[in-house]
Structure 1
């Protein structure tokens, strides 16, 4: 009896003792599961953050490598203008450092290359866009003109077919030289021999015709004006040069006495055109809304509608050149429109008509370059 009672008591005792232990163990297991789940969630979250961090850190490095070493597949993308490329936040922190490093390495070498190839001498002149110096090429003592253009004076740039960003002056001169012989002086536009991009400026090495002077100095040495017969020779060459530029879809925008060289190597004056710093590529009938050029030579259409186009503007400027060749005074568009400047009545009838045709106020009525080339005064 006592033995049976003892067994029952022991059994009850053990059951009660086991139950808390089992419950405690079960709670521990639940807590353990929760903590494991929590640990898994945290680990998963940590893993996600690591993955995200790795993407943010790896992606820019990958992009940086692509920019440094573009593959053939990426060639077209790399050749697009920088302005059209959509920047990402990951790009903004790494690209400037790379660009600064590249510009430092690349811009020191061109200066050394320039100094190794050319000798710069005395200054020849200074204009609104830069300074020009006399110089020569070391290899053959070829006389050259060396033009220094500060970066802030490079108003327009152009992307060529390979994606290079060039100043418009360089791009235009390369276009004019394409498809021709490498010999300098084969065309009216001056020849670009070399160019160097430095940190703060662009250096152009240009053909320097000898003997030659700009048309302004040429006129001054002849008493301030030219004979009509001599002016006719110069204008005919100048019109032909302007037609050539038009055929190449190039708008000089600033044809004037200072930008015309008169080369006297053969006794007869030969026209050369310089300073393409304000030029642009254009179509014949396209309108321009921003004026680049000499303020006192603005065509009337700009004064009225704030628009101008290549052909009519060039004809207007050629009229100004002829006017200043034959009159001992400078031309001013506003004064001419107000009729305070008049054409010399002593000029021949055909010459006066040529000037009047160039100075037609309505650009739609103004003759084209081809039409003035056929004008009786030039033929």
Structure 2
């Protein structure tokens, strides 16, 4: 269910009426000599199933009622392959929120929690991020998960909604299709720092791209926030993956060559993809870059050029680590 105790449901027994099971009209209770006729096993089983179904539906109805009482849902913000996102607010204090509706058949990745329950990996990852960040609402790069509701046929996530903010794709577009190198450096440094934090908590986002990055625009220095952990996973250092989750246009070369990829090198590649799209006014496609149909601009500074080339090295073992990227001379 959600982040609170499951809604309980109780069935009160009906009061006994007169002339039933030895109850006489004057209210004296006597032991009945009659034996109750046993119900057929199939009928008993059917009744149990019906009662269980009613109990589950009661819990779902209670959760939906709690959600509607606590939050007001407004206009739709977007729709993707994994669900729809709506603007909203928390009724108690009018805090802006994003409300994400995910049909159950679109919850592609699941995680077993400490109690053995199968829950959405997006929920598991965001709870793990929050537990590692003190007072994370408004303070961490990943947006915070405020509430979640498991309603059988759909999952509802209530997320922090930074205001004012827009995704990096629109931000780039509004700045003429590309950013100045100095501004790109500020954003990328925050992105690498956020990726290091996720790595330290064994979280692999798997789909870092301009559409999954929010830029807060209420100050002179843009601030980065990461969104959409729907394809993420809790990662082990030695894990190699043989099923690709992410944006197909941005697959790392190792996936194209051997159908395997790992967290660190893939994340570094995705950082390179984001930086390329910020600086070039072009959509990045891995196959075009590998075949040299897409080239890095020669007008970049030497440090920026080196940083981008290092991220987009075709051999994963030769790419720098995220920690090495943080210490790159471009940032000093």
Question: Is TM (by shorter chain) over 0.5?
Answer: yes
Quick check: 2:168–2:211 contact (8 Å CA) kept in 1? yes
Per-residue displacement from partner, 1:96-131 (whole Å, max 9, x unpaired)?
Answer: 656634431221111110000000001111111111
Correspondence for 1:322 = 275
How many residues are matched?
292
Cα 1:99/1:272, change in 2 over 3 Å: farther
Correspondence for 1:29 = none
Q: What is the DSSP-based 3-state SS (H/G/I as helix, E as strand, rest coil) of the residue aligned with 1:196?
A: strand
Quick check: 1:103–1:199 contact (8 Å CA) kept in 2? no
Higher helix share: 1
Structure 1: which 5+ residue stretches go unaligned? 1-53, 62-90
Q: What is the DSSP-based 3-state SS (H/G/I as helix, E as strand, rest coil) of the residue aligned with 2:140?
A: coil
Question: RMSD of the alignment, in Å?
Answer: 1.9
TM-aligned CA deviation for residue 265 of structure 1:
3.0
2:56 to 103, 106, 124: 103
1:132 to 66, 79, 85: 85
Cα 1:373/1:180, change in 2 over 3 Å: closer
Correspondence for 1:215 = 168
If asked which structure has higher relative contact order (CA below 8 Å, sep 6+), I would say 2
Within 1, Cα distance between the matches of 2:321 and 2:104?
35
1:302 aligns with 2:258: no
Correspondence for 1:346 = 299
1:120 aligns with 2:73: yes
2:313 to 360, 370, 376: 360
1:337 to 269, 290, 293: 290
Quick check: 2:79–2:85 contact (8 Å CA) kept in 1? yes
Correspondence for 2:191 = 238
Structure 2: which 5+ residue stretches go unaligned? 1-37
Within 2, Cα distance between the matches of 1:180 and 1:295?
31
1:156 to 97, 109, 112: 109
Quick check: 2:130–2:136 contact (8 Å CA) kept in 1? no
1:141 to 87, 94, 104: 94
Which deviates further from its counterpart, 152-161 or 216-225? 152-161
TM-aligned CA deviation for residue 183 of structure 1:
5.2
Correspondence for 2:207 = 254
Correspondence for 1:189 = 142
TM-aligned CA deviation for residue 282 of structure 1:
0.6
List structure 1 segments (4+ residues) > 4 angstroms apart after TM superposition. Answer: 93-99
Within 1, Cα distance between the matches of 2:220 and 2:252?
34
Correspondence for 1:198 = 151
